[in-house]
């Protein structure tokens, strides 16, 4: 569509659904908020690492009094600390016990599931192949469950070259926030290399990651451009951009509306819009408002599935308002 001279160009925003917060993210943020809002609280609430990978969420909670630390060494003995949604290793739990910390474990239950699988596979003598990104907090936590039994890989090439003690006793796990298509390629390479490869009882890539990738892909098919709201260290947000680009549609990861380059918008009639599982829904509204400055805007929601999953709060905060 070309705008008539003197008339603003009309555009359509295709809003992918589901988008933004997932149940695990909501649970983790809620745990910190309950502690901050607890009647009579006078001591700081410490959070190890970012509670979820989003700078806006972290800044908001920090502004309300949460103290974010990289490691438990920065937490005073006997204080309250929240473990992030990404999970921690047993070594971190041991350190917390040594410091007599009150722990509120906000690990996503779906990450906890992967940890349980790692322990079970290791106990039966398997070599565990963990598919994931080196350095990611979730991966570090899972590796810590069975460090002597687990090897980390990221690519099909690494899978094809992998050597283990016993080819007949190999199982695999995955980080919960990976791209579906790329992970399938790695698993296929593992199956070719190890025909007796054992799978986890259910997919490790979580429902929220899967749903957001499928939703943004569906929107991309009808869009000239796709914007994904999320922080650069949010694995699931980065993967959403990658899956769109692999299908030939230009896509950009933006922290918020301020990350939009007007030049992207000028060339687009239809703009797909989504947000990673750790990005606040309000940021999507701000992006739509920003896009409206370029001319008349029609917003259409494209729903691929409806999520109804919820997770209860961690036990230590269930009775706190």
- Residues acting as catalytic residues: 138
Rounded CA-CA distance 190/128 in Å is: 12
**Contacts (Cβ under 8 Å, ≥6 apart) of 80:** 35, 43, 44, 45, 46, 101, 102, 103, 104
Q: In this structure, how many other beta carbons lie within 10 angstroms of the beta carbon of residue 301?
A: 12
**Contacts (Cβ under 8 Å, ≥6 apart) of 139:** 130, 132, 133, 152, 175
Q: Are 313 and 85 in contact (CB under 8 A)?
A: no
What token pair was written down for 261? 């380059």
Rounded CA-CA distance 112/258 in Å is: 35
**Orientation of helix 109-123 relative to helix 137-145, angle to 10°:** 30
Rounded CA-CA distance 249/255 in Å is: 20
Question: What sign results for the dihedral spanned by CA atoms 215, 218, 221, 222?
Answer: negative
3 state DSSP class of 22: coil
How far from chain centre, in Å, is Cα 245?
19
**Orientation of helix 235-246 relative to helix 180-193, angle to 10°:** 90
Q: In this structure, how many other beta carbons lie within 10 angstroms of the beta carbon of residue 18?
A: 20
Q: Tell me which DSSP letter residue 187 carries.
A: H
Q: Where are the alpha helices (DSSP H) in 83-128?
A: 90-98, 109-123
């Amino acid at each position: 569509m070309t705008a008539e001279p003197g008339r603003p160009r009309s555009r359509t925003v295709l809003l992918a659904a589901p988008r933004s917060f997932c149940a695990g993210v909501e649970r983790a943020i809620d745990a910190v908020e309950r502690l901050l809002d607890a009647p009579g609280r006078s001591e700081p609430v410490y959070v190890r690492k970012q509670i979820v990978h989003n700078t806006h969420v972290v800044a908001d909670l920090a502004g309300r009094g949460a103290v974010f630390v990289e490691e438990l060494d920065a937490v005073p003995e006997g204080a309250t600390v929240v473990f992030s949604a990404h999970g921690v290793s047993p070594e971190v739990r041991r350190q917390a016990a040594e410091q007599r910390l009150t722990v509120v474990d906000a690990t996503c239950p779906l990450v906890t599931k992967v940890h349980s699988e790692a322990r079970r596979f290791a106990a039966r003598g398997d070599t565990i192949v963990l598919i994931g990104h080196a350095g990611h907090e979730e991966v570090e936590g899972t590796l810590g469950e069975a460090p002597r039994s687990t090897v980390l890989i990221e690519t099909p090439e690494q899978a094809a070259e992998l050597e283990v003690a016993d080819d007949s006793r190999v199982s695999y796990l995955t980080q919960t926030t990976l791209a579906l298509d790329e992970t399938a390629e790695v698993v296929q390479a593992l199956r070719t290399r190890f025909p007796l490869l054992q799978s986890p009882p259910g997919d490790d890539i979580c429902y929220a990651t899967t749903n957001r990738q499928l939703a943004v892909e569906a929107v991309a098919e009808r869009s000239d451009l796709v914007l994904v709201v999320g922080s650069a260290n949010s694995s699931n947000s980065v993967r959403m951009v990658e899956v769109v680009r692999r299908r030939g549609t230009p896509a950009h990861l933006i922290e918020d509306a301020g990350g939009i380059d007007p030049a992207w918008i000028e060339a687009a009639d239809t703009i797909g819009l989504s947000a990673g599982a750790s990005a606040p829904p309000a940021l999507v509204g701000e992006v739509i408002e920003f896009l409206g400055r370029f001319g008349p805007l029609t917003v259409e929601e494209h729903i691929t599935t409806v999520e109804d999953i919820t997770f209860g709060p961690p036990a230590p905060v269930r009775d706190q308002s």
